[in-house]
Amino acid sequence: MAASMCDVFSFCVGVAGRAGVAVEVRFVSSAKGKGLFATQLIRKGETIFVERPLVAAQFLWNALYRYRACDHCLRALEKAEENAQRLTGKPGQVLPHPELCAVRKDLHQNCPHCQVMYCSAECRLAAAEQYHQVLCPGPSQDDPLHPLNKLQEAWRSVHYPPETASIMLMARMVATVKQAKDKDRWIRLFSQFCNKTANEEEEIVHKLLGDKFKGQLELLRRLFTEALYEEALSQWFTPDGFRSLFALVGTNGQGIGTSSLSQWVHACDALELKPQDREQLDAFIDQLYKDIEAATGEFLNCEGSGLFVLQSCCNHSCVPNAETSFPENNFLLHVTALEDIKPGEEICISYLDCCQRERSRHSRHKILRENYLFVCSCPKCLAEADEPNVTSEEEEDEEEEEGEPEDAELGDEMTDV
């Protein structure tokens, strides 16, 4: 029941609203699956496409720790100054240029039944239309015995920060199908994401849940079934089907980060100021981030994940020609060209951050094997094939501390993030 590539691309153009006509999805190989290719010249710095996810959800610990985000699009709901006060632990923290904060609290609306908050009436209505009618707990929002609350608490007890997935992304997939008039269409869209072998799926689940993953996975499946069972998706609720669904979210979920403070900083960077005023503002911002690091560490953003159909077609490269970002402070994903991309050239992003990409080939492969279950054969990795397994004493120490993972059944490449 897999969706055709034409179906996938047509859907992406529909949901994104701003998807370009400069790309197409093609089958690459049995090892790599599908890929995204340019159909015309794309210049460096151009936005290749903007995509809205099929579903998205905030991470559960992130929400519990008062990172306030729209329950639908994950737009940060705090004013930039409120965000700075919470992250620094300084209630009196004041930001200059408050007019640059883009948060519109006058537009915020909550669900009248369960009180979850949205950034706008549009998001509240979109959520209700797609999945929230099924998931709304009504007055039982804070009842620990409500089936959805039991599921979320069980998830938090087995998946701690730093978070990489959420059981609620799976819940929204089910709820979307339950509410849909055309259930088969949504099932086809979800089923087109990359599938793994049973051994690979176990590796992914192990990575997310730890050594006791089999018992934890069965507990989550039982609670998931109690809260959300749907006959049209009966296979998803079996032990094998639930493991596959879990692996789908674990490998295809694209991280999303939003921040009203970050938006304010970008607006400050765009100000035309006298040199002395610019120096003072930059010094203030530098000190602000030092204060935040001391109080909060690396957890700055409202964080979650989403399933993006078109972006999931982008293969990995350690020398990517495109990158993903969320510049609109919500779940709209932008893919931007890092260099000129010629017609017929594959559009590749990196599953590694900039620091990881600078590590040795051996270390890059280790990260990709553990998290995505493939061996990279990009131009950089092929060029470094004859280099030693590690390139620095520091990396060698890291390898010894972490230990080598047992090799899973590895494909040459994979298309999902």
pLDDT digits (tens, 9 = 90+) for 268-281: 999 999 999 999 99
On the question of pLDDT at 4 being above 70, the answer is no
Residues 417 and 382: their CA atoms lie apart, in Å, by 21
Determine contact, residues 254/307, Cβ cutoff 8 Å: yes
Among 123-137, 156-170, 228-242, 395-409, name the one with the lowest average pLDDT. Answer: 395-409
Could you tell me which residues are beta bridge partners of residue 58? 304
Q: Mean pLDDT throughout 50-65? A: 97
- The closest alpha carbon to 155, from 69, 239, 224, belongs to 224
Structure tokens at 77: 């709901």
The mean predicted confidence, pLDDT, of the chain is 87
Q: What number of residues does the chain have? A: 417
Give the start-to-end residue ranges of the domains of the chain.
18-53+317-385, 55-255
Q: Mean pLDDT throughout 395-410? A: 44
* The pairing of beta strand 109-110 with beta strand 117-118: antiparallel
Of the pLDDT bands very low, low, confident and very high (cuts 50, 70, 90), residue 408 is very low
Task: Supply the pLDDT for residue 22.
Answer: 83
Among 98-112, 280-294, 366-380, name the one with the lowest average pLDDT. Answer: 366-380
Among 101-115, 271-285, 293-307, 395-409, name the one with the lowest average pLDDT. Answer: 395-409
Among 13-17, 146-150, 412-416, name the one with the lowest average pLDDT. Answer: 412-416
Task: Supply the pLDDT for residue 263.
Answer: 96
Task: Supply the pLDDT for residue 396.
Answer: 52
May I ask the CATH architecture of the domain 18-53+317-385? Beta Complex (2.170)
- For the packed helices 239-252 and 167-179, what is the interaxial angle rounded to 10 degrees? 110
On the question of pLDDT at 119 being above 50, the answer is yes
On the question of pLDDT at 122 being above 80, the answer is yes
Over residues 141-153, the pLDDT tens digits come to 999 999 999 999 9
Q: What percent of the chain has pLDDT over 90?
A: 68
Task: Supply the pLDDT for residue 203.
Answer: 79
Task: Supply the pLDDT for residue 162.
Answer: 87
Task: Supply the pLDDT for residue 402.
Answer: 46
On the question of pLDDT at 395 being above 80, the answer is no
Task: Supply the pLDDT for residue 46.
Answer: 95
On the question of pLDDT at 18 being above 50, the answer is no
Phi-psi group of 9: left, alpha or beta (phi > 0 → left; psi -120 to 50 → alpha; rest → beta) = alpha
Structure tokens at 27: 């089958």
Over residues 188-218, the pLDDT tens digits come to 999 888 666 677 777 777 777 777 778 899 9
pTM: 0.86
Task: Supply the pLDDT for residue 197.
Answer: 66
Q: Mean pLDDT throughout 148-177? A: 95
On the question of pLDDT at 397 being above 60, the answer is no
Task: Supply the pLDDT for residue 19.
Answer: 47
Of the pLDDT bands very low, low, confident and very high (cuts 50, 70, 90), residue 414 is very low
Over residues 313-360, the pLDDT tens digits come to 999 999 999 999 999 999 999 999 999 999 999 999 998 888 888 899
Of the pLDDT bands very low, low, confident and very high (cuts 50, 70, 90), residue 390 is low
Task: Supply the pLDDT for residue 213.
Answer: 78
Among 54-58, 107-111, 368-372, 379-383, name the one with the lowest average pLDDT. Answer: 368-372
Spatial strand order in the sheet of 55-58: 55-58, 302-307, 254-258
